[in-house]
Amino acid sequence: MTFVVIFLLLLLIASIALNYYVIKKNLQLSDQRENLVDQIEKSLDILDVCYSRIAHHAETPVLSDEPVIQQVVYDLGLCKNSILAVASKIVTYGQNDYDDEQDESDDQ
């Protein structure tokens, strides 16, 4: 009987220690996630500014027929589309996580 009580006490202590460690790690990861979200939002703002500048420059008509200048204008268009694609993927990824959290809270 004493052995069982001691064993259960040791399991309880181990469980408390493990719960403390898991909760501590969870809080650290939550802080890191918040920092990451802030950095992504700042990056999206920068991408938005870059996109509007490049879109403006890409739509400006070029009066030169030189192949180099035409290639630069074409590259600006590609950059504009790339920035839009990256921003779209980041926003879509964030919305999927948010939608999943909403679904889980609705289920409960």
What's the pLDDT tens digit per position in 7-48? 999 999 999 999 999 999 999 998 888 888 888 888 878 877
Q: Do 79 and 47 touch, CB atoms closer than 8 A?
A: no
pLDDT of residue 60: 74
Please report where in the chains the tokens 């790339």 appear, as a residue: 82
50 to 37, 65, 91, 102: CA distances (angstroms): 20, 26, 16, 32
What pTM did the predictor assign?
A: 0.51
Structure tokens at 25: 């790690």
User: Cα(30)–Cα(17) distance, rounded to whole angstroms?
Assistant: 20
